[in-house]
Amino acid sequence: MHNLSQVLLRNSNLLAASSTLIINLPADEFMHDYLNLYPQCQLNYFTTNFEYFQLIEKSKPKSVNSFFAAQYRSDKKHDLAIIAFPKSKAELAFTLAMLNESLTDDARVLIIGENKSGIKSVEKLSKDYLQFCSKADSARHCSLYSGQYIKQNKTFDIEQWYKIYQFTIDGVALKVASLPGVFSQNNLDVGTRVLLENLPTDYAGKVLDFGCGAGVIASFVSKKYPTTEFTLVDVSALALHSAQKTLALNGVTTATYLPSNSLSEVSEKYQHILSNPPFHQGVKTNYLATETFLQNIKRHLYAKGSVTIVANSFLKYPPIMAREIAPVSTVVQKNGFSVYRCTLK
């Protein structure tokens, strides 16, 4: 069982409630143990992470309702919310604001996270949403905080949480809309810029944007090469929601948005695959999703299809690409990033 769950269960007195909402906790046996303690409690689980959602769907008790979305919506009023501290501090305020219409007036909020995740700043970060917020426990390299929710006077509007920025590359002007917790929320990241500056001169047909984030790559390529047709894949509901907004801002109306854990939900084939693949999950470096993607992507390529990725130059992706897809060329190395491309014969 995950350390977060163990710390929560050792504070079982704080878990007493009639209706509990669990947000983004990793999938394990916690909900089963919770309902053994409080069998009359109505339990809902909400996550923005599709991998968690898939695992929860397989393992949850039958009485638990589970939701995957960018925003939690329910007619239920919860008197307890349990939140896993997010990797983005801005996402915590977003999550707390989102709960305004879903909590009772006296609702208690528990926030749990690993000590190295930045959770020790939670009292300051939550001051507009929680009163009497204080540390309730610390164990297994984790900390648990408890507070009482402060009901807000205004209705939560997800549109107000977008950060909008603009950039121009090769004469293509783009607007980007990004929610808290989405990669490179405030400005264009260096890796994606290097990729967009070094695209092939001809792109057409079906294109897969793997790990699409806020939809920057798909929007740019769609504007530069109007005959492309994009499928955008990401594990994050916040990313997919942002991508839809970004493409709409740039007049791109023909795209498919697909929540997926790596390639779990991808079934079609494509002429081209583009990616600035993720390699961080939480506070730990994690390459598994990208390595799984590279090992399995060939089956989703048409003949003469290409895979182009950008990555930190220290990441050892070319040997995997060469072994699993086709011979690899290094298109450019710039500012600590490399663009790699391979094409099926």
Question: H-helix or E-strand containing 318?
Answer: helix 318-324
Which of 134, 157, 180 terminates a domain? The answer is 157
CA angle 27, 30, 31 (to 5 degrees): 95
Q: Do 73 and 59 share a structural domain?
A: yes
310-341 pLDDT, tens digit per residue, is: 999 888 899 999 999 999 999 999 999 999 99
**What integer best gives the mean pLDDT of the chain?**
93
Q: Do 307 and 201 share a structural domain?
A: yes
Side chain identity at 271, as an amino acid letter?
Q
Environment class of 306 (CB within 10 Å of its CB; exposed 0-12, middle 13-18, buried 19+): buried
Residue 19's closest CA among 49, 43, 39, 46? 43
Which of 105, 125, 157 terminates a domain? The answer is 157
Place of tokens 């990241």: 189
Q: Do 268 and 139 share a structural domain?
A: no
Q: How many domains does the chain have?
A: 2
Q: Where are the beta strands (DSSP E) in 69-215?
A: 78-84, 103-114, 130-139, 142-149, 163-169, 172-178, 205-210
Question: Where is pLDDT greater, at 202 or 63?
Answer: 63
Q: Do 229 and 266 share a structural domain?
A: yes
227-284 pLDDT, tens digit per residue, is: 999 999 999 999 999 999 999 999 999 899 999 998 999 999 999 999 998 765 443 4
Q: How far apart are CA 174 and CA 216, in angstroms?
A: 8
74-81: average pLDDT:
94
Q: Do 88 and 170 share a structural domain?
A: no
Q: Do 136 and 279 share a structural domain?
A: no
Task: Please tell me whether residue 319 adopts helix, strand or coil conformation.
Answer: helix
Residue 266: which CATH number? Answer: 3.40.50.150
Q: Do 196 and 152 share a structural domain?
A: no
Q: Do 94 and 173 share a structural domain?
A: no
Q: Do 213 and 147 share a structural domain?
A: no
pLDDT of the residue at 282: 43
pLDDT > 70 in the chain, percent: 97
CA angle 120, 31, 38 (to 5 degrees): 100
CA angle 37, 39, 44 (to 5 degrees): 100
**Residue 194 and residue 330 in contact, taking contact as beta carbons nearer than 8 Å:** no
Within the chain, what is the greatest distance between any pair of CA atoms? Answer: 64
Place of tokens 């405030």: 186
Q: Treating both helix axes as pointing N-terminal to C-terminal, what angle do 216-224 and 237-249 enclose, rounded to 10 degrees?
A: 30
List, in order, residues 6 or more apart from 206 with CB less than 8 Å away: 228, 229, 231, 268, 269, 270, 271, 272, 302
Which of 127, 157, 187 terminates a domain? The answer is 157
pLDDT of the residue at 281: 44
How many Cβ atoms sit within 10 Å of the Cβ of residue 309? 27
Q: Do 166 and 148 share a structural domain?
A: no
Chain centroid to CA 273: 20
Q: Do 230 and 177 share a structural domain?
A: yes
Q: Do 153 and 96 share a structural domain?
A: yes
Residue 148's closest CA among 94, 111, 107, 105? 107
- What residue numbers bound the domain in which 7 lies? 3-157
